[in-house]
Amino acid sequence: AQSVTQLGSHVSVSEGALVLLRCNYSSSVPPYLFWYVQYPNQGLQLLLKYTTGATLVKGINGFEAEFKKSETSFHLTKPSAHMSDAAEYFCAVSVTGANSKLTFGKGITLSVRP
């Protein structure tokens, strides 16, 4: 079965600094990878996803992630953090099959300092 590891529970950056949120996956078949964001008191919404093709994926709000098969990673980055980026971020993995089922990581909270 596939799984996702997000190390740490909290990341704090200064406004304007680089954001790097790490995600490693485990899958015996080619994975499909997602990053979701959850703002306070809201449901999750998709930031970006990798299915096939280009390994560098761009998402909303200036975020991007790169699929690295050799490192089994899908880290999320943003060059310059904004106060509005403060939220919880979830990495998730899925594999091909008849049924859509995402496996989520435990999530990581991003704080942005003024």
Partner 1 sequence: DAGVIQSPRHEVTEMGQEVTLRCKPISGHDYLFWYRQTMMRGLELLIYFNNNVPIDDSGMPEDRFSAKMPNASFSTLKIQPSEPRDSAVYFCASSLAVWYNEQFFGPGTRLTVL
39: region left, alpha or beta (phi > 0 left; psi from -120 to 50 alpha): beta
Q: Provide the minimum distance between the beta carbon of 32 and partner 1 in the complex, in angstroms, as a whole number.
A: 5
Judged by CB under 8 A, the residue of 34, 63, 74, 89 near partner 1 is: 34
Judged by CB under 8 A, the residue of 42, 55, 80, 84 near partner 1 is: 42
Matching residue, tokens 């280009």:
54
Residue type at 36 in one-letter notation:
Y
Q: Provide the minimum distance between the beta carbon of 69 and partner 1 in the complex, in angstroms, as a whole number.
A: 17
d(Cα 52, Cα 96) in Å, to the nearest integer? 12
Answer yes or no whether residue 107 interacts with partner 1 by CB under 8 A.
yes
Specify the 3-state DSSP secondary structure of 72: coil
Answer yes or no whether residue 2 interacts with partner 1 by CB under 8 A.
no
Judged by CB under 8 A, the residue of 40, 43, 53, 114 near partner 1 is: 43
Interface with partner 1 (CB under 8 A): 32, 34, 41-46, 49, 51, 90, 94-102, 104-107
